[in-house]
Amino acid sequence: MSAASGASSAARARMNIGQVLDQLRPDFPGITIPKIRFLEDKGLIKPERTPAGYRKFSHDDVERLRYVLRMQRDHYLPLKVIGEHLDAIDRGLEPPPIDPVVPTVPRVALAADGLPSPASFTRRDHVRLSRRELVKIAGITEDLLAELEQFGLITPRAGTGHYDTDALVIAQTARELADFGFEPRHLRAFKTAADREVGLVEQVVAPQKRGRDAAAKARAEETVSEIAALSVRLHATLVKTGLRSP
């Protein structure tokens, strides 16, 4: 093959931005020219430029775009992290393993009898779910979530709009109870009972919470956890006893 024919072949291997859209749209229907230009501005792709300033994309450029779009869509990775992955690939390294698409929720510590232990009430996780993620992972509808919020059973975190692990557990439980005919308006009774228990616990620990030193606050938190676990145990046992009564 002559140098001229080789150069011609290389030129034919380059695509304009419209052809790139045609390549990507079957898998990414929402892709647009401004989106591609934005990713270029962020340094994630670097297509060649003709003397006239037109972009020309190689097969590698298109595959790089596929990687970026897939990481955004399927794994919710921010562009900064995706850029770090691409840098690793460019340097001949393996990118870090991708976390599962579905967030992994920390397991609640359970006591031997199957009831929450005090440790489960001090659990702090950093799970933050968007509204769409909560609906998808919990397997509920938007309408059911709206009703659960209407009756005060689920509330997004203040100032963030995200939902935590407890919201996910409540949503999943509400979905399972719906199979037995329970509607969110029926579950309001559970919320009312829980609020009463919370009020009782707060009355007991109020004197400890008034302490100004860190040790007093730590004791108050420990007391809350222990009483909460005992409260749940008592509540569950009373329900079990009531259901067994003739």
Query: Do 67 and 61 form a contact (C-beta atoms < 8 A)?
Result: no
Give the Cα separation of 25 and 213 in Å (integer).
Answer: 60
Give the Cα separation of 94 and 90 in Å (integer).
Answer: 9
Domain assignment present for residue 42? The answer is yes
What are the phi and psi torsion angles at 201 (to 5°)?
-60, -45
| pLDDT score recorded for residue 209 | 75
Query: Do 175 and 144 form a contact (C-beta atoms < 8 A)?
Result: yes
Give the Cα separation of 121 and 228 in Å (integer).
Answer: 7
Tokens 């559970």 correspond to what residue? 190
Domain that holds residue 214: 118-244
Domain assignment present for residue 110? The answer is no
Predicted TM-score (pTM) of the model is: 0.53
Average pLDDT, the chain: 83
Which residue spans within 14-126 are E strands per DSSP? 48-49, 55-56
CATH of the domain at 44: 1.10.1660.10
**What is the per-residue DSSP string for 25-55?**
TTT-TT--HHHHHHHHHTTS---EE-TT--E
Domain count, the chain: 2
Query: Does residue 141 sit in the same domain as residue 204?
Result: yes
Query: Does residue 77 sit in the same domain as residue 129?
Result: no
Instruction: Examine the pLDDT at 118 and tell me if it is beyond 90.
Output: no
Query: Does residue 157 sit in the same domain as residue 213?
Result: yes
Residue 241 is encoded by which pair of tokens?
């006893």
Q: How confident is the model at residue 101 (pLDDT cuts 50, 70, 90)?
A: low
Instruction: Examine the pLDDT at 152 and tell me if it is beyond 60.
Output: yes
CATH of the domain at 223: 1.10.1660
Query: Does residue 21 sit in the same domain as residue 125?
Result: no
| pLDDT score recorded for residue 10 | 47
| pLDDT score recorded for residue 2 | 46
Residue 112 is encoded by which pair of tokens?
């031997």
- Specify the higher pLDDT residue, 13 or 23: 23
Instruction: Examine the pLDDT at 141 and tell me if it is beyond 90.
Output: yes
Query: Do 201 and 230 form a contact (C-beta atoms < 8 A)?
Result: no
| pLDDT score recorded for residue 77 | 83
Domain assignment present for residue 113? The answer is no
Q: Which residues contact 109 (CB under 8 A, 6 or more apart)?
A: 116, 117, 119, 120, 123
Query: Does residue 62 sit in the same domain as residue 131?
Result: no
Which of 90, 108, 138 corresponds to the end of one domain? Answer: 90
Domain assignment present for residue 172? The answer is yes
- Specify the higher pLDDT residue, 95 or 60: 60
Tens digit of each residue's pLDDT (9 = 90 or more) over 50-73:
898 889 999 999 999 999 999 988
Alpha-carbon Rg for the chain, nearest whole angstrom, is: 27
Query: Does residue 75 sit in the same domain as residue 147?
Result: no
Query: Does residue 74 sit in the same domain as residue 127?
Result: no
Question: pLDDT above 70 covers what percent of the chain?
Answer: 86
